[in-house]
Structure 1
Amino acid sequence: METQAALEHSEILDGTLFHIQINRCQYIDNFPEKVANVFKDNMNGHLVNDFDEIRDDLSEIETNFFKINKTRINKEEFYRTLYERITKRARRA
């Protein structure tokens, strides 16, 4: 685990929405909110779990997001790069 500043839920949600936007993806359900909840639930104070520890929680999210965007993104890569974005943002906070 790595020491990081605690992020607010709204900051994680903003980062998720931005990540969706830069990947030119579409969503029709509450996928961004569910993702933000998983990240927030996996933060313990100033620590965020390693990607390998939260990957299963992210994969369990029920969504049509990856079906809709299957020509644009890969599920594993999307989550990994989002994780990198969120942890980088936490370091700057």
Structure 2
Amino acid sequence: MARQHWPDWMNPAFEERFFERAREVSNMEELKEPTHQQQEITARLRKQLIPEQVELMLKWEENINYRCTLEKEWLYYAGLKDGLHIWKRLLNSMAD
């Protein structure tokens, strides 16, 4: 993913913050019920499908999760870029 809108040395700090926020999201109260429902559905599918179908379902789920992670990461970095752009414009307007 291209995110070279700042020096390379800044990437680890941004990535650490991204993962901190991701951990916070995983503990959100609003996600507990949907997570529980997903676990129940997964258990039912494992009981009702043959092993090959379960494997295919897990690959499908992995692909969706990966795609969603890439989308969230892109949005995170886009938000950083937008925030920095707004901050720069604000600072420039205050200098006038």
Give TM-score scaled by structure 1 length.
0.32
Larger strand proportion, structure 1 or 2? Answer: 1
Larger helix proportion, structure 1 or 2? Answer: 2
Larger relative contact order (Cα-Cα within 8 Å, sequence gap ≥ 6): 2
Give TM-score scaled by structure 2 length.
0.31
